[in-house]
Amino acid sequence: MRLTNIIKTEEIERRLEALPDDLEKAFEDERTGRIIFEAGRKLGLPIDQVGEVVELVGYAMLGFVKASDLLTHLTEITGDSKKADELGTAINQNIFLPIRDALKRAYGNQWTDTPAATPMPPPVAVQPPPPPKLEQPAPQAAMPKKPEPLIIHPLPSRPRETGDSGERVAGNGQRIADIRPEKLPLPPPAAKPAPVPAAPAPRPSAAPTQPPPKPVEKSEATKPPVTPPIISPLGTRTTMPTVQPKPETPKVEPPAPSRVEGPPPPPPSSAYDRAKAAMEKELAALQRPQPAATAKPPKEDSGQRIADSGPGVLPAVPTTKELLQREIEKFRQPAVDSQQHMADSIKKSPPSTPAPKPLKLPQEKIPKPPAPDKYEVDPYKESPE
């Protein structure tokens, strides 16, 4: 159990303020920490255990730990009694032995007789405050009762007529006797209108009357054709119905499909493209279907005959290659003689200007270096002789 959890901070500050000068100097000296660090390094202690040993030595200087309990605390920190003995011997000889007299003057017999530390009093249990009393809910007012819904009983349905069976069904489901149309009373017959009196016939007069006009006979041209009767095997005569010829309906030719116009093609960029476009246009004109010739009435045969003069001569149709060659010749430029072109370009070029002459500078004499006052002869240099 670490002493930091037992000793109060206020007690540590109080003893630090009342510490003598010699003990305060040893408490704040760097040599104390270096001695503990070297002893722990030799024993192979980790750094956290070395820190706990430093705290233990400080509590011993402040009088919280007795000298007899020092070895016990070291054993708890290191977990090895042998290492604790070696570490306690090094601390006693190098740290506590030089300040032994100062420790006796400060603490007297308490250095060996006083307990290590006054344990902290147990914490007083603080009773929690009583929970607040819950307020009783206010009495709720009596809610008015909801009105009961009205119950509407269905009325008996009226009898409905059915047209198929002639029966009537009452609202209570009872059947009524069949009512047939023949059992129904017939309506009284309607009264006949009174006859209209006829006008009196005129009496014949004594004047002569004109004979009535004769009926107009139809001409033979207007009479419908009469088919001869056909005698059947039984001897009865049957007349076949005349068949009227059907009028011929004129044939209506469908209109030619309109040409769908799209965006104009891009203009040709080279002479070859222009020639190709013109050639395709001519070919399209040649391949376009010609309108059908109107039927002419046949000429009367005059009886004259023409001798055969041989096969007919058809006009020559140019080929695609010939048409393309013609279009290329239109855009072809005449050949240029290279020598003649060079001569013309030389004549047209401006006269060349002569190159400037280089400037002539006067020659200057190069000064010679001054001669030395004394000539030193190199003994190792061979003479020209």
Residues of the chain predicted below pLDDT 50: 113-124, 161, 166-167, 169-179, 181-183, 204-208, 218-221, 232-236, 238
From residue 239, how far is each of 222, 303, 366 by CA, in Å? 20, 50, 156
Query: d(Cα 98, Cα 264) in Å, to the nearest integer?
Result: 117
pLDDT score of 145: 65
Is residue 57 domain-resident?
yes
**Domain annotation covers residue 34:** yes
Buried residues in 260-296 as b, exposed as e (16+ CB within 10 A): eeeeeeeeeeeeeebbbebbeeeeeeeeeeeeeeeee
Collect all residues with Cβ–Cβ distance below 8 Å to 172 and sequence separation of at least 6.
156
Q: What is the pLDDT of residues 33-92, one digit of tens each?
A: 888 888 888 888 888 888 888 888 888 888 888 877 888 888 888 888 888 888 888 888
**Residue 140 covered by a domain:** no
**Residue 64 located in a structural domain:** yes
Q: Which of 119, 1, 3 lies closest to 57 in space, CA to CA? A: 3
Q: Are 60 and 107 in contact (CB under 8 A)?
A: no
d(CA 333, CA 253) in angstroms, rounded, equals 52
User: How is 116-168 classified by DSSP, letter by letter?
Assistant: S-PPPPPPPPPPPPPPPPPPPPPPPPPPPPPPPPPPPPPPPPPPEE-TTT--E
**Token pair in block for residue 205:** 């007069």
Q: Which amino acid is present at 223?
A: K
55 lies in a domain? yes
30 located within any domain: yes
CA distance 122 to 118: 12
What secondary structure letter does DSSP report for 304?
-
pLDDT the model gives residue 252: 62
Neighbours of 62 (CB within 10 A): 21
List the structure tokens of 90. 């090094």
Angle between helices 70-78 and 47-61 in degrees, nearest 10 = 170
Burial, 11: exposed, middle or buried (Cβ in 10 Å; 0-12, 13-18, 19+)? middle
Long-range contacts, 238-247 (Cβ 8 Å, 24+): none
Task: Give residue 115's pLDDT.
Answer: 37
Which pLDDT value is given to residue 77?
Answer: 87
Tokens of 17: 């303020």
Whether 182 is in a domain gets the answer no
Q: What pLDDT, on the 0 to 100 scale, is given for residue 203?
A: 56
Cα gap 126→255, rounded to integer Å: 113
pLDDT of residue 51: 86
Residue type, 81: S
Helix (H, G, I), strand (E, B) or coil at 95: helix
* Cβ neighbours of 163 (radius 10 Å): 5
Closest CA to 57 of 23, 83, 82, 80: 23
Write the DSSP symbol of residue 94: I
Q: What is the pLDDT of residue 64?
A: 82
- Structural domain including 66 reads 3-113
Domain total of the chain? 1
